[in-house]
Chains A and B, each alone.
Chain A
Amino acid sequence: MKYTEEHEWLREEDGLVVVGITEHAAEQLGDVVFIELPDEGKEVSKDDEVVVIESVKAASDILAPIDGEIVEVNEALVDNPGKVNEDPLGDAWFFKMKPSDTSQMDDMMDEAGYKDFIS
């Protein structure tokens, strides 16, 4: 797993990159009540705003961590946004991307680096 400074995690799976937010981010957000997902097939560039996530406290965005195409979104989250608080590292992934250039992930933090980052 790789981690961004925006508290996203990235997991490589069958040539795709699965993206979610960390436990730390989910805790900071508080109870998530609404999620707006991007359209499948959308081409995105790193740092594009792709997901809107609203907690009881506020709205925030999730940015595309790398360039690529959104190939699948987790529709289950739309009906059950609370999953983000229950299982942020597992079932509550947001989208899967076909990366344009996986080397963009090289400089990202690993788990130990992320733990240092949030401590």
Chain B
Amino acid sequence: MSDLKETPLNALHHELGAKMVPFAGYEMPVQYKLGVMKEHLHCRAEAGLFDVSHMGQVIVRHPDGFEGAARAMETLVPVDILSLEDMRQRYGFFTNDEGGISDDLMLARRGDHLFVVVNAACKKDDIAHMRANLSDCEVEEITDRALLALQGPSAETVLAGLVPEAAGMRFMDIAIVESDFGELWLSRSGYTGEDGFEISVPDANARALAEALLWHDAVEPIGLGARDSLRLEAGLCLYGHDIDNTTTPVEARLTWAIQKVRRRGGEREGGFPGADRILAQIENGAERVRVGLSPEGRAPMREGTDLYADAEGGTPVGQVTSGAFGPTIGAPMSMGYVPLNLSAEGTTLFGEVRGKRQPVSVAKLPFTPANFKR
């Protein structure tokens, strides 16, 4: 694994008994001693600590301050950034000329600049994309900070014990606070469907912060395995699986992240890559859409499973993009794309698993209700 990059918590993962795997160019923990199932359930019941330092942290500045940076960024994302309040963040995505999603990301307004967090596997391309297209902006990749996520109903109590400012934050608030662990960049967000925080911490203090959080009985370290089942139960898309260059935001049912001001008739309509296709789809609908899928029985329908309209014959009408067993719901769960006319909740489809067609019904997302502190 010598060509893999390591996060500042690499040694700690090994000491905690993590099983390490290559992921997006990094050696990352896929599970710890508890195992995926118990880690998942612990995060829903109390709190889980995730190392997400592999993700990209980027600061975007413009000579005209926030407004300049926001206007520039709006040429790359269909999101309303200009009206973002200070110290608030939004979910968004970069789009390509065909309207596909080239990455999803978090965008935060921090005083005179933007702070963005992007996926590990895409960060190199995202940064090149921003540098090439955000004229007049300075795009600074932050390389001396780790990123931790503390997720679960106990997250606030635990973090507030170290950083009292955490308690006053609402969902999608961000904060920059001084602490015993240096300057922390907090956001009240995450990707598990639970209340929680993402915490950017100077590399040198990352281990001390992680240990201070893990010291609480309520907190267990959680690996990528449970992170995946948690986000799938929460109905959240995983880039490269549920969304990618070929799926538009409308097909992915992420239209909610495209505010009215950027849609047809809006004050700042379009102006982002693929706008024609995406805005037309918002008005006319997409031919296929992402749905939740509940297989009958206990067998998971995993990524790549072909979906059919009928129990026998015909050609596939869609495909599963994520599938696993949901520990909280105690049942298998999947997401995938199906034609619009087969997307109504309760529609029965058939997934071909090991050569046999198994019934699966279109389900409401999320599979578990979100616990955000709004």
Contacts and interface: CB of A to CB of B under 8 A. Distances in A.
Interface of A: 30-31, 33-34, 36, 52, 54, 56-59, 78, 81-82, 85
Given A52-B354, A57-B225, A33 B300 contact: yes
Interface residues of B, number: 17
Contacts of B332: 33-34
Contacts of A54: 299-300, 325
B33 to A, nearest CB: 11
Interface of B: 31, 35-38, 225, 229, 297-300, 302, 324-325, 327, 332, 354
A34 B325 contact: yes
A56 B35 CA distance: 10
B229 A59 contact: no
A34 B301 CA distance: 11
A63 to B, nearest CB: 15
B241 to A, nearest CB: 15
Nearest to A82: B37
B302 A56 contact: no
A33 B297 CA distance: 11
A35 to B, nearest CB: 8
17 contacts: A30-B31, A30-B35, A31-B38, A33-B300, A33-B325, A34-B299, A34-B300, A52-B354, A56-B36, A56-B225, A56-B324, A56-B325, A57-B225, A59-B300, A59-B302, A78-B298, A81-B298
Contacts of A31: 35-38
A70 B327 CA distance: 32
Given A54-B325, A56-B225, A56-B229, A30 B36 contact: yes
Contacts of A57: 36, 225
Contact of A33 (B38, B225, B298, B354): B298
B284 to A, nearest CB: 39
A15 B302 CA distance: 40
B31 to A, nearest CB: 7
Given A31-B35, A34-B297, 10 more contacts: A30-B31, A30-B36, A31-B37, A33-B300, A34-B325, A36-B299, A54-B299, A56-B36, A56-B327, A78-B298
